[in-house]
Chains A and B, each alone.
Chain A
Amino acid sequence: MLRAEGLRHSFGAVRALDDVSFTVNPGQTLAVFGPNGAGKTTLLKVLAGLIQPQAGRAHVDGGRRAIGWIGHQPQLYGQLTVIENLRFWASLYDTHPNADLLARLGIQEHANRPVRALSRGLVQRVAIARALVHDPRVLLLDEPFTGLDRTAAEALSRLLGHHAAAGRATVLVTHNVEEGTELATDVAFMRNGRFVHCAPRSGRDPSDIAAEYRSAVA
């Protein structure tokens, strides 16, 4: 469903990706942990086709239409209402916003409010709805839990669980090992643009993974 082969990319002298290869199959969730500057966002941008790698190739079954992206920023227009934003993004995918999606994220009652009037947590929920508006088969998540309150974080975790159960693939990158571990079927640690560890989670609990991460990136 998603395949990266020998990805390499540098920004000047800074090597952001250094021979990164992996495959994510339907139903799998790969959690990539790494410190700031490890190359996580660059990896997602290469997978999404937003950056052309200098070497190697990334392939997503279904191309850009199959990808949903949640990044650092919500990719929303503050002057537009929630529903206007979702209608706009849906129109680019030739679809319409699904009322059920708004209900599941708890933003139905905010549909007619301008995004700029929403709290940071609500904005992040709308950003999640934007990413899911076209029912993507592959989700690329860059620090998706940032800014979410506990309720919203649980709602997102449930959505991601449903997404994986429906046979969709997810790549989640974060610097916080406490986030997303429960959802992961596979775990990778990234340092200086390289995968220093990539393996199935195999029943490891978050504290095991946190300990391994600390020793791997130290």
Chain B
Amino acid sequence: MRLPDLVRHAWAVARKDLLVEYRSRTAILAAIAFVVLVLIVFNFGRDPTAVSNVDLAPSILWVTFTFAAILALNRAFQLELENQALDGLLLAPIQRSSIYLGKLIANLAFVALIEVIGVPLLALFFNVRILPVMGPLAGVVALATVGFVTVGTLFSAMTVRTRFAELLLPVLLLPFMIPPLIWAVLATGRLFAARPLSEIEGWLKMLAAYDIVFVGIALLLFPATVNE
């Protein structure tokens, strides 16, 4: 099968997922409500004289995105179990990697929307200046998001047929999310503190390497995870 077929079928799956979510708006509204609520709670619950905003904001940002993303990842394959659509996808004459790639694209779009709403809210509540570092911040957010959504989409496929899928996914996923989250928190902290970009270069490279390795591993492993 040629590469364009892989991409075309992946896009068909992603487009379908996004259309289903656009029509139902259940997961996205739940995730956005979660992000807003967490940021409000942290905003009013913190003691600004104890820890400075710049030190606190990166951790809160990434904890919020992590758990909001898990909401999206949980539903990624749940959708296919309803009415046994997963069997239809597996029966179709397409590469199984294209199903994974389609799910990954849809999940990335979903999490990106949450982040587009979450970052300005964080800037508002925590009074951190994001406009001067918007470009590098977008890079950090994009690289870290690709990393944990890549792993999360694979684990979502692995756990969806288990009885405790919603519990198992975070239990399996969170240990794999620790490295990219640490790098992302450290890099975001430096950006909020207006440190030179050279200080985050190493973490960006680590995030990029993590993405490349885990996208490759996930594409290889996914076909085995959906075998009955």
Are B9 and A45 interface neighbours, CB within 8 A? Answer: no
Closest to A130 in B: B88
The stretch of B77-85, B120-128, B176-184, B189-197 in contact with A is B77-85
A79 within 8 A of B: yes
Q: Which residues of A contact B93 (CB under 8 A)?
A: 63-65, 92-93
**Contact A80/B12 with A45-B228, A67-B91, A75-B83 known, Cβ cut-off 8 Å:** no
Question: For chain A, which range describes its interface: under 10, 10 to 19, 20 to 34, or 35 or more residues?
Answer: 20 to 34
**Interface: B227 (CB within 8 A):** yes
Least Cβ distance of A44 to chain B in Å? 10
**Minimum distance in angstroms from B186 CB to a CB of chain A:** 40
Q: Does B37 contact A (CB under 8 A)?
A: no
Contacting residue for A80 out of B19, B88, B228, CB 8 A? B19
Partner of A88, one of B8, B16, B83, B87: B16
Q: Is A71 an interface residue when CB atoms closer than 8 A count as contact?
A: yes
Q: Give every chain A residue within 8 A of B227 (Cβ-Cβ).
A: 52
Asked if B90 is at the interface of the complex by the 8 Å CB criterion, the answer is yes
Q: Whole-angstrom distance between the alpha carbons of A73 and B87 in the complex?
A: 10
- When the two chains form their complex, are residues A75 and B12 in contact, meaning their CB atoms are under 8 A apart? no
Tell me whether A77 and B92 are in contact (CB under 8 A): no
Residues of B within 8 A of A45 (CB): 87, 228
Chain A residues, Cβ within 8 Å of B85: 75-77
In the complex, A67 Cα to B90 Cα: how many Å? 12
Please tell me which one of the listed residues A72, A74, A79, A92 contacts residue B20 in the complex, with CB atoms under 8 A apart: A79
Q: Is A48 located at the chain interface by the 8 A CB criterion?
A: yes
User: Quick check: A51 and B228 within 8 Å, CB to CB?
Assistant: yes
Contact B84 A92 (CB under 8 A): no
Q: A50-B228, A80-B23, A130-B88 are in contact. Are A92 and B94 (CB under 8 A)?
A: yes
Within 8 A of B (CB), among A44-93: 45, 48-52, 63-65, 67, 69, 71-80, 84, 88-89, 91-93
> Is B198 located at the chain interface by the 8 A CB criterion?
no
Whether B24 pairs with A79 at a CB distance below 8 angstroms is yes
- Asked whether any CB of chain A lies closer than 8 Å to the CB of B89, the reply is yes
Chain B, residues 1-34, CB within 8 Å of chain A (1/0): the string is 0000000110010001001100110000000000
Question: Across the interface, do B23 and A79 meet the contact criterion of CB distance under 8 Å?
Answer: yes
Chain B residues with CB under 8 A of A74: 83
Instruction: Kindly supply a per-residue 1/0 record for chain B positions 129-152, scoring 1 wherever the CB is within 8 Å of any chain A CB and 0 otherwise.
Output: 000000000000000000000000
Q: Which residue of A lies closest to B82 (CB)?
A: A78
Q: Which residues of A contact B79 (CB under 8 A)?
A: 77
A64's nearest neighbour on chain B, judged by CB, is: B93
The answer to whether A78 and B91 touch (CB under 8 A), given A50-B228, A88-B16, is: no
Closest to B98 in A: A92
Q: Is A114 an interface residue (CB 8 A)?
A: yes
B89 near A92 with CB under 8 A, answer yes
A63 to B93, alpha carbons, bound, how many Å? 8
4 closest Cβ pairs, A-B complex: A79-B23, A73-B84, A75-B88, A92-B92
- Further contacts, 6 of them, CB under 8 A, given A75-B84, A92-B93: A48-B87, A64-B93, A65-B93, A75-B87, A76-B83, A91-B9
Provide a sorted-by-A list of 16 A–B residue pairs whose CB atoms are within 8 angstroms. Answer: A49-B91, A50-B91, A52-B227, A67-B91, A69-B87, A71-B87, A77-B85, A78-B82, A79-B23, A79-B24, A80-B16, A80-B20, A80-B23, A88-B16, A92-B92, A130-B88
